[in-house]
Amino acid sequence: MRLKRWVIAFALMALVLPIAPACKPRASEEMAVIVRADSQGMLLTWFDDFGDFHVAQSVPDVPPSRREHVRVIDPSKADGTKDDRIFVADLRQAQPDGRFPIRITTRAEFEKLARANGQQAGPSVSSSATAPNPDVPVQEAPGGPANPQTPVIIYGAEWCQPCHQAAAYLKRKGVKVLEKDIEADPSAGREMRDKLARAGLRGGSIPVIDVRGRMLIGFSQTAVDRALGEAL
């Protein structure tokens, strides 16, 4: 009889006590970026021996000597793009599951690491120049007929000095410019990749400039003027 009363008491307690919810993964675990050797369409920001930044879209496009500290953005996810938290991967050696190790750091720390690396190597040509070289070769693909009212779209990033130089140059010429940050806005990164694919071009650096249908990779005053043509 006593055992029966205990069973009834425990049953009643189970009904009135709240059930503890299952542990949910943190947002960072749900949204964590995954990079493998065959990952495509990523935005991989690496810095060279002079501390200058470059962007690749796949692991093989990152020079082997520069794979230790690579910022990673997955354009399909917004995590790590709208706050100061960023993902930095070590692409030198994959883990047993095929993933490359990734750590969370801040944009400031990543840029500090690049500056420290550049200070050891000395200034580069691009960082010491006061103006862009108008004859720097760029990749380009032809577009359709130009409409003078269509803005020129610059796909770049906040830290990209040539991106800002390109925007300033176009604005001085009275050209309407639309700047899109591929790091802050993942949809801009997807849009840029789609345009490059349709043009038969492979990205590897920024800015990528859509001059009214003609795609340019890199900033050259000569190439921009040629793309604008009579529309200026």
79, pLDDT greater than 60: yes
Show the domains of the chain with their CATH numbers.
27-125 (no CATH), 129-231 (3.40.30.10)
232, pLDDT greater than 80: no
Residue scoring higher pLDDT (15 or 157): 157
Q: State the pLDDT at residue 125.
A: 38
Mean pLDDT of the 132-159 span:
64
Token couple for 149: 């009212």
Which range has the worst mean pLDDT, 21-35, 72-86, 171-185? 21-35
Q: State the pLDDT at residue 48.
A: 85
Cβ partners under 8 Å of residue 120, min gap 6: none
Confidence of residue 5 (pLDDT cuts 50, 70, 90): low
Cα pseudo-dihedral 82, 87, 88, 93, rounded to 10: -150
Q: State the pLDDT at residue 26.
A: 44
Q: What is the pLDDT of residues 35-59, one digit of tens each?
A: 999 988 788 888 888 887 888 878 9
Residue scoring higher pLDDT (179 or 83): 179
Residue scoring higher pLDDT (134 or 171): 171
61, pLDDT greater than 80: yes
Alpha helical stretches, state H, 25-124: 27-30, 107-121
CA 148 to chain centre: 30
What is the pTM for the complete model shown?
0.60
Most confident of 12-16, 71-75, 202-206: 71-75
CA 103 to chain centre: 16
Token couple for 204: 């590897």
Helix, strand or coil, per DSSP, at residue 155: strand
Confidence of residue 108 (pLDDT cuts 50, 70, 90): confident
